[in-house]
């Protein structure tokens, strides 16, 4: 697998740049199209008369179906190819997003946005498996970091664009805009992403084989703890951003929707943290880097508890930057340590990742409603502490395996 056929083996060339550009762009459009509704939750709550603790259901359904889709799209990419699935997902997403612009019912809108999440689930699993197969090991972590950077830029641009435009145009026009984005990116990826050189399709799709494969991944003690980390990590992140706009729009901050939406600009720091986290993991080990990043995220959450805007913003920036670093390291770790069907292994990680965002993000709506921002932040800090314990367990598991290998040799 790791031969001279991989991109970036010895130098940065046009193919390596094309891979990095196409995958980062696909990651950007995926997350932009999913999360542009997040800063609009207060607007949607007022427009459709939905209580604060229920309005985040639109994101939770979207992420839940995205997670469920990932159980199958990884296997689909293993069978039919990485590039084909990425392009198909983008084009189908463009059609569904365009359909949303014609919907006036809240329940129907939630359902179609859920289908959008299901459709876009093919991108992440196929992209990371493509990196593992087609990019040289020396730079695979860096390229994964740039894919995560594309994700973060998508999350940022989607949130910022929607929060600024809602004060100047209609919700329908915002849906049109994101539909056009997905359509354009699907064409660009089709044209620029090099065809796979090392892809070997799996045998004909078989449900029992898929289930057995999932079981093997969950029994792999080198990657199953990382699935738990993904659940906790994104659940904490979704909880923060689902209710941040509500929090800062009231006293003592009193920010407008547009001003609150600009907080997502801090996502741009992931251009540094995501690739750099990959480099640090190569140098010091993934578990040490994950433990450090989770610890700093706790510091960021503590700063976000203060009642001064400056401290809150610094805390959110710290939390967000470290989150993208963690995600980059976890993605690379799963691809590196999966013993077979990397697309499926990555899908299971992302399934747990988005399931955490769906479940914890929604449940924290009740925590925020009844216990306020302090209660929600305390719950997030507790989750991050559990994450540190899991990373410590993973480190012990690695040391145990190394000891066994040394004894056998």
Return the C-alpha torsion angle 44, 46, 50, 53, nearest 10: 80
Instruction: Answer whether residue 126 shows pLDDT above 90.
Output: no
CA pair distance 283, 165, nearest whole angstrom: 43
pLDDT of residue 388 exceeding 90, the answer is yes
Token representation of residue 314: 């610094």
Q: CA 297, CA 318: separation in Å to the nearest integer?
A: 7
Residue with tokens 């569904």: 96
For position 3, what pLDDT does the model report? 45
Reported as a single tens digit per residue, the pLDDT across 181-232 is 999 999 999 999 988 888 777 777 667 777 888 888 888 888 999 999 999 9
Task: Kindly report the CATH class assigned to 14-193+219-408.
Answer: mainly alpha
355 class by beta-carbon count within 10 Å (0-12 exposed, 13-18 middle, 19+ buried)? buried
CA 212/CA 350 separation, integer angstroms:
18
Please tell me the pTM assigned to this model. Answer: 0.79
Mean pLDDT of all residues belonging to the chain: 86
Q: With 70 as the cut, is the pLDDT of residue 353 above it?
A: yes
**How open is the CA angle 329-353-202, to the nearest 5 degrees?**
80
What is the pLDDT, as a whole number, of residue 2? 43
Task: Give the Cα separation of 50 and 57 in Å (integer).
Answer: 10
- Secondary structure of the chain as H, E, C letters: CCCCCCECCCCCCHHHHHHHHHHHHHHHHHHHHHHCCHHHHHHHHHHHCCCHHHHCHHHHHHHHHHHHHHHHHHHHHHHHCHHHHHHHHHHHHHHHHHHHCCCCCHHHHHHHHHHHHHHHHHHHHHHHHHHHHHECHHHHHHHHHHHHHHHHHHHHHHHHHHHHHCCCCCHHHHHHHHHHHHHHHHHHHHHHCCCCCCCCCCCCCCHHHHHHHHHHHHHCCCCHHHHHHHHHHHHHHHHHHHHHHHHHCCCCCCCCHHHHHHHHHHHHHHHHHHHHHHHHHHHHCHHHHHHHHHHHHHHHHHHCCCCCHHHHHHHHHHHHHHHHHHHHHHHHHHHHHCCCCHHHHHHHHHHHHHHHHHHHHHHHHHHHHHHHHHHHHHHHHHHHHHHHHHHHHHHHHHHHHHHHHHHHC
What's the full length of the chain, in residues? 409
What are the distances in angstroms from CA 381 to CA 98, 230, 304? 38, 15, 11
Q: Mean pLDDT, to the nearest integer, of 357-381?
A: 92
Most confident stretch, 87-91, 136-140, 157-161, 171-175: 87-91
Confidence band, pLDDT 50/70/90 cuts, at residue 177? very high
| pLDDT greater than 60 at residue 397 | yes
Inter-CA distances, 117 with 141, 171, 175, 316, Å: 26, 19, 14, 26
- Res 8: pLDDT: 54
User: What mean pLDDT is predicted for residues 348-369?
Assistant: 90
pLDDT at residue 1 in the model: 40
**Which pairs count as long-range contacts for 254-261, CB under 8 Å and 24+ apart, including other chains?**
256/167, 257/39, 257/40, 257/42, 257/43, 257/163, 257/166, 257/167, 258/163, 258/164, 258/166, 258/167, 260/39, 260/163, 261/39, 261/159, 261/160, 261/162, 261/163, 261/164
Choose the weakest-confidence range: 10-19, 64-73, 222-231, 358-367.
Answer: 10-19
396 pLDDT higher than 60: yes
Most confident of 6-20, 100-114, 193-207: 100-114
Residue 72's nearest CA partner among 167, 255, 209, 184 is 209
Cα 320 from chain centre: 12
Does residue 100 have a cis bond before it (omega within 30 degrees)? no
Residue of higher predicted confidence among 298 and 104: 298
The Cα 343–Cα 202 span in angstroms is 11
The domains of the chain are located at 14-193+219-408
Chain-centre distance for alpha carbon 407: 39
Closest CA to 131 of 27, 50, 236, 260: 27
Q: Compute φ and ψ for 135, nearest 5 degrees.
A: -110, 140
């Amino acid at each position: 697998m790791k031969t001279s056929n991989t991109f970036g083996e010895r130098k940065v060339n046009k193919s390596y740049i094309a891979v990095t550009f196409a995958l980062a762009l696909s990651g950007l459009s995926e997350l932009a199209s999913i999360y542009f509704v997040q800063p609009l939750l207060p607007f949607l709550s007022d427009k459709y008369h939905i209580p604060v603790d229920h309005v985040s259901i639109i994101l939770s359904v979207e992420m839940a179906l995205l997670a469920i889709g990932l159980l199958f799209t990884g296997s689909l990419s293993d069978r039919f190819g990485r590039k084909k699935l990425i392009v198909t997902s983008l084009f189908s997403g463009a059609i569904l997003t365009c359909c949303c612009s014609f919907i006036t019912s809240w329940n129907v809108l939630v359902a179609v946005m859920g289908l959008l999440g299901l459709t876009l689930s093919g991108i992440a699993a196929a992209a990371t498996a493509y990196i593992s197969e087609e990019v040289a090991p020396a730079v695979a972590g860096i390229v994964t970091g740039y894919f995560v950077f594309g994700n973060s830029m998508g999350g940022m641009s989607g949130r910022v664009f929607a929060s600024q435009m809602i004060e100047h145009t209609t919700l329908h026009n915002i849906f049109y805009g994101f539909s056009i984005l997905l359509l354009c990116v699907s064409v660009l990826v089709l044209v620029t992403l090099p065809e796979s050189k090392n892809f070997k399709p799996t045998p004909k799709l078989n449900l029992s084989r898929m289930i057995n494969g999932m079981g093997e991944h969950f029994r792999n003690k080198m990657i199953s703890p990382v699935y738990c980390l993904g659940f906790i990590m994104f659940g904490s992140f979704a909880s923060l951003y689902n209710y941040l706009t509500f929090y800062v729009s009231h006293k003592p901050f009193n920010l407008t929707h547009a001003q609150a939406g600009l907080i997502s600009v801090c996502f741009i720091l992931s251009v540094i943290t995501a690739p750099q986290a990959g480099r640090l993991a190569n140098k010091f080990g993934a578990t040490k880097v994950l433990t450090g990043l989770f610890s700093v995220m706790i510091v960021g959450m503590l700063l976000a508890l203060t009642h001064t805007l400056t401290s809150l913003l610094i805390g959110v920036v710290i939390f967000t930057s470290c989150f993208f670093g963690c995600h980059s390291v976890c993605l690379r770790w799963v691809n590196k340590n999966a013993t077979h069907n990397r697309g499926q292994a990555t899908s299971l990680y992302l399934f747990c990742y988005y399931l955490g965002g769906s479940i914890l993000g929604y449940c924290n709506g009740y925590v925020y409603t009844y216990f306020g921002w302090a209660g929600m932040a305390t719950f997030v800090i507790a989750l991050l502490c559990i994450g540190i314990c899991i990373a410590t367990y993973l480190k012990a598991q690695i040391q145990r395996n190394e000891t066994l290998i040394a004894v056998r040799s």
